[in-house]
Structure 1
Amino acid sequence: MIFDVATCKNMLLFVANGILSNVDMLNEADKLGDSDHGSGMEVGFTAVVKKLSAQEFTDLGSLFKSCGMAIMMSSGGASGAIFGTFFKDGAKALENLQQLDSTSFSEFLKLGLASVMKRGKANYGDKTMLDALKPAVDITAANIGLSIGQIFKLCAQAAKEGSEATKNMVASFGRMKNLGERTLGYADPGSITVALIFSYMSEFTQT
C-alpha cells in the first residue's frame, strides 16, 4: 500500500472513527479522574472527521496539521491540547511531502513527541501518554527502511506495551499525582488513546 495524501487522509479518518468507537471505554479508564477523557477525545476526533471529510489536501503536512488543529480548536482541557499539538507540530516534518514512509513518519513522531514534552512538561515514566508514545517513537527510529505497514505494526505493539506498563507506575504528574499509590493498577487514559491511534493505523493497512 502506498501512503500518498489521499491514503493518509483515509487512514486518519479510520483512526478518528476508531477512537470514537471507544469513548465509553476511555471514560471508564479515566474513573480515577473526571471520567471524561473519552468525552474530550470524542469532541476532538469528531472535529477531525468533519474537517478532513470537507477538505482536500495537497501535501501531507497540511493534512496532519489540519488534524491537529481540529483537535486543538474543539477539545477543551489538557488532553485536547496535547494530542492536537502532537499532530500539528509533528506535521512540520511532512511539509510538501506527497508520500509517507518510515523516514518521514519517524521525523513526524520525533517532532510531535518533542512538542508534547515541551508543552506538557511531563517526562517519560510520569504515567502519562508519553509512556506509550515514546516507545513508538523509539521503535520507528530503530527500524528505518521497513515498510510503513510494518512500522505501524511495531508502533502499535510498542505503544500497547507502554500503556500497559503505566499500570505499574505511580502517577507523578498532573492532578493524578495527588492520588499517589491509588493510581497503581490503572493504565493512564492518555496512553490508552495513543495505543489505540497506532493500533488503528496498523489495522488500516490490513483493510
Structure 2
Amino acid sequence: MSPVTLDLARLQQWMTRFAAVAEQNKAYLTALDSAIGDADHGTNMARGSAAVLAKLEASPPSTMGELGKTAGMTLVSAVGGSAGPLYGTFFLRLGASIGDAAELDAATLAAALRAGVEGIVARGKAEAGDKTMVDAWLPALAAMDEAVASGASLVDALAAARDAAAAGRDATEPLVARKGRASYLGERSAGHIDPGAASTALLLDALAEVAAA
C-alpha cells in the first residue's frame, strides 16, 4: 500500500533513487548542457547526488531536517557551476522547513518543496520564462498545491507535480534564455531544453516513484 505520509526512510530512498537516476541520465543531461551551457550538468549532478548518498550512508541523519541540511551542504561543496549552489540551497531550505517533523503529509511536503524553490529563486534571481529550472519547479508546485487543495493523496499530488515538471521542462525548448550561461547565446538558446529543468523533472520523478512504491 502506498504511504499516506513520507518519513525519514522514504526521504533517504529518494536520495538513493535520484543518485541512480542522475547516473543513468548523465549523458542526456550533459548533451542538453553541451548545446547551451558548459557541458557539465550531467557529470555534476551524478557526482553531487553520489556524494550526498555517500555522506548520508557514512553519517545517517536522525531527522528529515538533518537529511535536508546534509544533502544541501554536500551539493554546495561537491557540485560545480550553478547547479551546486541552487540545488544545495533547495535542500537546505527544504530541511529547514521540515525541521524535526517525523512524517510529512501532502500539504506539509508541498510547503517544504515550496520553501526549497523559494531558496532557488532567491539565489538565482530567475523568474518564470527565463529558461531555467524554475520553469519546471513553478508549475510543479502549482500542480501539487492544486492537488492538495482538492484532497488528493500524497502519491497523487506528487504524480501531478512530476507531470507538471515534465511539461515545464519541455516548455523551455522554444524559450530564449534570460539567465545563466545560456543567456549569453541570446536567440541561439531557443530550440533547446534547459538542463536544469530536465534534472528538476528527474528529481521530482524520483520522489514520486519512491512515494508510490
Q: TM-score, normalised by structure 2?
A: 0.92
Bigger mean CA offset, 188-197 vs 144-153: 144-153
Matches within 5 A, 1:126-137: 126-137=130-141
Tell me which stretches of 4 or more aligned residues in structure 1 moved more than 4 Å: none
Distance 1:175 1:7 in 2: 35
CA contact (8 A) 1:100 1:148 kept: no
CA contact (8 A) 2:136 2:166 kept: yes
Give 1:120's match in structure 2, choosing from 115, 118, 124: 124
Count of aligned pairs between the two proteins: 207
Secondary structure of 2:121's match? helix
Distance 1:137 1:108 in 2: 10
Give the alignment's Cα RMSD to 1 decimal: 1.4
Matches within 5 A, 1:1-207: 1=3, 2-32=5-35, 33-144=37-148, 145-207=151-213
Distance 2:41 2:23 in 1: 12
Distance 1:137 1:147 in 2: 15
CA contact (8 A) 2:10 2:210 kept: no
User: How many percent of aligned residue pairs carry the same amino acid?
Assistant: 33
One-letter code aligned to 1:132: A
1:49-71 Cα deviation digits (max 9, x unpaired): 10122232222111122111111
Distance 1:181 1:152 in 2: 34
Secondary structure of 1:167's match? coil
| Relative contact order higher in (CA < 8 Å, ≥ 6 apart) | 2
Q: Is there any run of 5+ residues in structure 1 with no aligned partner, and where? A: none
Secondary structure of 1:142's match? helix
Q: TM-score, normalised by structure 1?
A: 0.94
1:131-153 Cα deviation digits (max 9, x unpaired): 00111111122222422211221
CA contact (8 A) 1:13 1:52 kept: no
CA contact (8 A) 1:11 1:201 kept: yes
Distance 1:4 1:177 in 2: 39
One-letter code aligned to 2:130: D
CA contact (8 A) 1:4 1:99 kept: yes
How far is the alpha carbon of 1:206 from its aligned partner?
4.0
When residues 146 and 64 of structure 1 are mapped into structure 2, their CA distance, relative to the original with a 3 A threshold, is farther
CA contact (8 A) 2:52 2:75 kept: yes
Distance 2:105 2:73 in 1: 23
Q: Is there any run of 5+ residues in structure 2 with no aligned partner, and where? A: none
How far is the alpha carbon of 1:169 from its aligned partner?
0.5
Distance 2:70 2:200 in 1: 18
